[in-house]
Amino acid sequence: MDDAERKAAALDLSKAKLERRPIRPLTETFGSFGVEDAYAVQQLFVEQLAPGPNRTLGHKVGLTSVVMQSMLGVSQPDFGHLLESMFYAESSAVPLSELIQPKVEPEVAFVLGRELSGPGVTMAHAVRAVEYVLPALEIIDSRIVDWKISLSDTIADNASSGGVVLGGTARRLEGLELRTIGCNLWHGGALAATGAAGAVLGNPLNSLVWLANTLGSLGEGLMEGEVVLPGSCTVAVPVTAGDEVRAFFAGLGSVGARFEGSAP
């Protein structure tokens, strides 16, 4: 991709998000392109959504389960930016007017107490950087029609980020065996999915290490106070107007979200 194509792709994504009108895969419109181009498009897309320097409040890691990786034929996760505008309070409804085809994923979120910049980040650095663990619901969404995404499509589309709701139960990492923490996702009155935090690369901390090193290779880092969503404990569950979801985590409390408004 040349600069003009990258800009055009980012504009297509911004327009799709703003007008809530999903577009066909970028890899069809622009022909196939690689991961480097895809992250460059993501950077432009994010800048268009959030002009100004301090609007990124966190990062998300996606494609962290074997199921998702084999579905897209990849062996690596990807990452996206969590912008200020994407954080929703648990006490208020998530407006569907901001979303196109949302799904919900329960995650164990990290809040960083110090900056974490790769390359060379190990598990030891990651553990020292995590100040708190919070229960979280990630809202994923795709600007690509019917979620027909390849790896490059989803990376360009800010790793299919939609939003995040953080629960208010803060825990320290000490004494937590993250790998085997159970998670039940309820959708309305029914159990929609179950899983464990170990579904995320064996342990969500592995995801944090990968993120810090991958950002480092691009000359970026994670800041003190940032929120990191490391990946989903379960399959993603589609949501629509009037839906209520709540995720319960063993020993970490719970977090809920309500969806209001109308689907496009």
Partner 1 sequence: MNLSDAADVLLGAEATASALEPLTDSWQELDLATATAVQHLTLSRRLARGERLTGLKLGLTSRAKQRRMGIDTPLTAFLTDAMVLRLGEPLRLGGLIHPRAEPEIVFLMGERLAGPGVTAAEALAAVASVSCGVEIIDSRFRDFRFKLPDVVADNASAARYVLGPRRVDPSSLDLTLEACVVELNGRVVDSATGAAVQGHPAEALAEAVNALALEGIALEAGWSVLTGGMTDAVELVPGSSLRVDFTHLGSVVIQASGGEAQ
Note the residues at the interface with partner 1 (CB under 8 A).
65-67, 177, 179-184, 191, 194-196, 198-199, 201-202, 233-234, 248-250
Taking the complex as a whole, the smallest distance from the CB of residue 44 to partner 1 amounts, in Å, to 34
Q: Which is nearer to partner 1, 20 or 179 (CB)?
A: 179
Q: Please, which residue, 75 or 217, has the CB nearer to partner 1?
A: 75
Q: Which is nearer to partner 1, 101 or 207 (CB)?
A: 207
For residue 232, which of 192, 259, 263 has the smallest C-alpha distance?
A: 192
Q: How far is the CB of 165 from partner 1 (least distance, A)?
A: 20
Nearest CA to 44 out of 83, 11, 79 is that of 11
Nearest CA among 151, 152, 157, 153 for reference residue 74: 151
CB of 68 to partner 1, least distance (A): 12
- 238 upstream amide cis, omega within 30 of 0: no
For residue 103, give every residue at least 6 positions away whose Cβ sits within 8 Å of its Cβ, in sequence order, or none. Answer: 139, 140, 141, 236, 237, 238, 239
Q: How far is the CB of 200 from partner 1 (least distance, A)?
A: 8
Region of 212 on the Ramachandran plot (φ > 0 left; ψ -120 to 50 alpha; else beta): alpha
> Residues 195, 132: contact at Cβ < 8 Å?
no
Tokens of 131: 């100040």
**Which residue's CB is nearer to partner 1, number 191 or number 218?**
191
In total, the chain counts a number of residues equal to: 264
Least Å from the CB of residue 106 to partner 1: 11
Closest to partner 1 by CB, 199 vs 208, is 199
